[in-house]
Chains A and B, each alone.
Chain A
Amino acid sequence: MNKPEDDLLINRILQGGPVAEEAFSDLAVYYGPKIYQQVFRILRDENLAQDAIQNTFIKIWRNLHQFNKECTLFSWIYRIAHNEALTILSKEKKQKDFVSNSPIVEWSGHSGFSDQLNTEEISNLLLEAIDMLPEKQAQTFQLKYFDDLKYSEISELLGTSEGALKANFHIASEKIKEFLLSQLNH
């Protein structure tokens, strides 16, 4: 699906009626999968991720009129989804000993590092490292590293130049690498 024009999408949704419902469906179909991956990495549970996605889209539908266009629509949605996922994660951790056994990365071939950490442990550390990044760097890193999007696609989503995105990705990678190595040497 081609990226819909955000302004057009927003205007159609704010019109209300069947036009709004159709536009909202387009929004969900285009942004839904990208956001789903984001929340799944945080929650690492299919049902919880779907709950977070549902809450996210309810908030988008109810609060789109408040979107002030200071960032791209994707960034706004990303932020809502991120917060929803963290809220759900926090509730789950309070209610029970929440343990996710669904790693988000795996060792490629035989890595020397794999002797020290299993995929679950390195996944947790990686998420911790991403969480410490500034939002733009975190978004860029995830869209590039995990979702393997082209810089041109990320540029369209985040409204940032490709050059700036490359710099963001480089800095983010360095910070993450530094964090992971410090944890491994600890």
Chain B
Amino acid sequence: MKEQRNILDDLKAKKIAIPDEAFFKSLAARVTQDSVPKKSAKVIPLVAVVLSAAAALVLLFWIFGSKSLNDSINEGTISFASLEDEEILEYVETNIDDFEEDEISALVVFSVKDSIGRVVNERNDQNFSVELDEMFSGLSDEDIMTFLKDEPTEEDEELVSIF
């Protein structure tokens, strides 16, 4: 009976032509020259992460928490009356990347509407926002900040007062 025999005994593995040592040496040289091995990612201890988070919270509280928070909540906006204008400007300038585009444009809409004499009852006036988007489309954040810093105008004063 064929089935009772081991079929593997009737088979013989064919010899494979393996490339010589020079092939593997050359391959290794190509690989090492073409790419750099990645190093192990630096593991940040959990304690350091927790400490950093705690420090950030303390900093945030120091900036926002101690500035008449209750009064600000009642008014619907945060009051920075006790801060110097320069301090606020400096903070905004340093942390411009932390603000969402919408947040900035909403504030700009609010401040500019008075200066150009348009009556807009709500901050989210879509048409007005579109017009402003077009107005400022050619300006970068840096341009605006440079303007605010170097060319203080009445509008800027109003902007600061809104804060």
Measuring CB to CB, which residues of chain A are less than 8 angstroms from any residue of chain B?
13-14, 16, 20-21, 24-25, 27-29, 32-33, 36-37, 40-41, 46, 50, 53-54, 57-58, 61-65, 103-109, 111-114, 122, 126, 145-146, 148, 173, 176-177, 180-181, 184-185
Contact = CB atoms under 8 A, between A and B. Distances in A.
Contacts of A108: 9-12
Interface stretch (B14-22, B70-78, B109-117): B14-22
Q: Which 3 A-B pairs have the closest CB atoms?
A: A111-B10, A32-B24, A28-B28
Contact of A63 (B23, B28, B38): B38
Interface of B: 2-3, 5-14, 16-19, 21, 23-25, 27-32, 34-40
Nearest to B41: A65
Contacts of A33: 18-19, 24
A32 B16 CA distance: 13
Given A62-B35, A103-B14, A104-B14, 4 more contacts: A29-B21, A41-B16, A62-B38, A122-B11
Given A113-B2, A113-B7, A146 B31 contact: no
Contacts of B36: 16
A173 B8 contact: yes
A61 B35 contact: yes
B11 A58 contact: no
A107 B8 CA distance: 9
Nearest to A122: B11
Given A20-B32, A32-B27, A53-B27, A65 B38 contact: yes
B29 A106 contact: no
Contacts of B24: 25, 28-29, 32-33
A145 B8 contact: yes
Contacts of B7: 113, 177, 180-181, 184
A104 B13 contact: yes
Contacts of B6: 173, 177
Nearest to A31: B24
Contact of B19 (A36, A126, A180): A36
Contacts of B5: 112
